[in-house]
Amino acid sequence: MLLRIDNLTKEFGKNNSYQKVLDNINIEFKSGEFVCILGESGSGKSTLLNIIGGLDTKYDGSVNINNMNLKYIDLDDYRKENIGFIFQNFNLINSLSVIDNIILPLDKYKISYKEKKKRALDLLDKLNISNIRRKKIKDLSGGQKQRIAIARALINNPSIILADEPTGALDENNSKSVLEILKEINLEGKLVIVVTHSEKVIEYSTRVIRIKDGKIDSDQKIKRIKETRIDKEDKRENNFYYLLKYGLRNIFNNKRRNIFIVIASSIGIVGIILSLFIGNSVKRYIEDLILDKNNPNIYSIKINNKVYDKDYFDDDIINKIRGIDHINKIYKSSTYSISQLKEKNKEYNLTFIDSINEIDLIKGNSKKVVISKFLAKKIDKNMDVINKDIELTIVDNYDVIRINTKITGIAKNNNLSIIDNTMHAFINYNYLVDNYKKEDKKFHPNLLSIKIDDNKNIEYVKKKLKALGLNASNNTDLYDELTSYLNIATFVLSFFSSLSLIVSIIMISIIINITVIERTKEIGLLRSIGYSKDNIKSIFNSEAIFLGISIGLFSCFISKHLINVIKYIINDKFNISINSRLLKYYILGLFISIMVTILSSYFPAKKASNYDPINALKYE
């Protein structure tokens, strides 16, 4: 005895209104039987088949396979190992080849593709359809499709073949061929159960069971059979392979849709990568600019306007600073934001003018006035400006200083190349002081720096300066302040890019949900051949991961080229060379892409895994 059913009752309905579809069914099936279950539509025969196949679990009574109750075993494993389904409407997957449709039940196992293909080809030969193996499913006739469905049911060597109206969609000749094939399968020792309303199946059967109104009306054994035992091979699952296969297959089967998803979703990823690259590259540049040439013991002094009603350093303040212990040296300088340079009859309003002692030059010297390369080109396109006579006008608070002088140099501006594109100039500090004296005006520096003798005395000096109403800071403080602003800017840019990721998650979730609906029948088929709920969920999650990898790789590709363009523009316009390690940004982009698609697929995958296989197989 292979299969035994005891006191099986099945009811449909709700709200205390129920109808018995199967009423106290008691029956046994043996291997080697060809059982024809006859009955009108609605008699309960298909429901009985679904219960035997482990697709329907809501019933009273017991169904036992080799003395094991189906209610207490893993039904997915039961279907996978023991059941081969043949459906009236074939339930083939059009996106798969003939061979791949047949070997679908074997995809989860650690069997080489060569071996799987050999088994499929042997079955095609056996079913006399080896000539169609390279055809597309949509181009096949109904009879050919049903033979492929039979081959799929046999590929796993099940002990029970369940056929639900296998000839219902076929003409007379194809119906006869299919029934002859089922008879041959039965002669190999398998239990074949055919549910039908056609009396023609009887002549191929060894046993005929008639069902009426949910009860067994008659059970007639036509031929004697010899019960046989079917040996099952020990097969181990290979989850990675089938997830890989399904993931890649769906990516390629929906190329246009997935290309759209990849392009749309990559916008946010590219935005995040670029934001991080620009922010961190600028921080690295500023770090190189400020900290590498920074003397940690040199501090700039600022006047606290709440204490002093002036914005310059007079002799009284300077003398007080000199009186503080541990200050080795005081550096004086000035900068002016309102100034003008006049060459011949042309006037150039300067962005600023700084006093200097020394500066890197393209050519000339810093004895008098040095101008930027940008200003030099404004004056003369060939930058032939050395020793040109100019008039320099400086507004110092309420004083206006006019200096008739010469241009003695062009600044290289290695320290901050972006200044090359501004109208600015430098004047030698001592030369500036001498000109104040010529104008009979008192010169007061508005910038002051000090050098502290030792690191351990920095806090002491800063405290003393604060007591005088003065604040001390150096380039490290400036760097910290600038980086804090850059961090805020980077965060804001990344945040706005992240908003597009939320849109991507919603978009991808909707599209995956549509895919789930489109593949409802495929999901039902997979459940019928032994795929568990977790397997279905894993299939959609694996597809999401592959989609995420595709989005990540595309985003990295686009980001790389955009970064190269940004580097070129910055280098060309500002002579700044940006070097940054991009791998970490690419890895982050890839990780975010995968996480976005996994999050997007969570609910659609869960929905797919909870599909009822019976209803899913009926979906049109």
**Tens digit of each residue's pLDDT (9 = 90 or more) over 531-585:** 889 888 988 888 888 899 999 999 999 999 998 898 888 777 766 777 777 888 8
- Residue 570 has a pLDDT of 79
DSSP state of 42: T
Contact of 166 with 12, CB cutoff 8 Å: no
- Give the integer Cα–Cα distance in Å for 539 and 531: 10
Out of 440-444, 448-452, 592-596, the most confident range is 592-596
Q: How many DSSP H helices and E strands does the chain contain? A: 17, 23
Describe the chain by its helix, strand, coil percentages, rounded to 5: 50, 25, 30
Q: Work out the angle between the directed axes of helices 172-187 and 142-154 (0-180°, nearest 10).
A: 10
C-alpha distances in Å from residue 551, one per residue of 122, 329, 554: 41, 59, 5
Pick the more confident residue, 120 or 481. 120
Strands annotated E in 82-213: 83-86, 160-164, 191-196, 207-212
- Residue 156 has a pLDDT of 87
Identify the residue whose tokens are 């061979």. 99
- Residue 415 has a pLDDT of 46
Q: Which residues fall within 8 angstroms of residue 126, CB to CB, at 6 or more apart?
A: none
Pick the more confident residue, 608 or 17. 608
71: Cα within 13 Å, side-chain hemisphere: 10
- Residue 418 has a pLDDT of 46
**Domain ranges, ordered by start, for the chain:** 3-237, 249-289+480-618, 298-469
- Give the integer Cα–Cα distance in Å for 252 and 260: 13
Quick: pLDDT tens for 186-200: 888 899 999 988 888
- Residue 234 has a pLDDT of 54
Contact of 438 with 403, CB cutoff 8 Å: no
Q: Which fold has domain 3-237?
A: Rossmann fold (3.40.50)
Pick the more confident residue, 311 or 126. 126
Contact of 512 with 490, CB cutoff 8 Å: no
DSSP state of 400: E
Quick: pLDDT tens for 378-388: 999 899 999 99
Q: Which residues fall within 8 angstroms of residue 508, CB to CB, at 6 or more apart?
A: 261, 265, 544, 547, 596, 597, 600, 601
* Structural Rg of the chain based on CA atoms: 43
- Give the integer Cα–Cα distance in Å for 610 and 602: 12
DSSP state of 289: I
- Mean pLDDT (whole number) for 339-348: 91
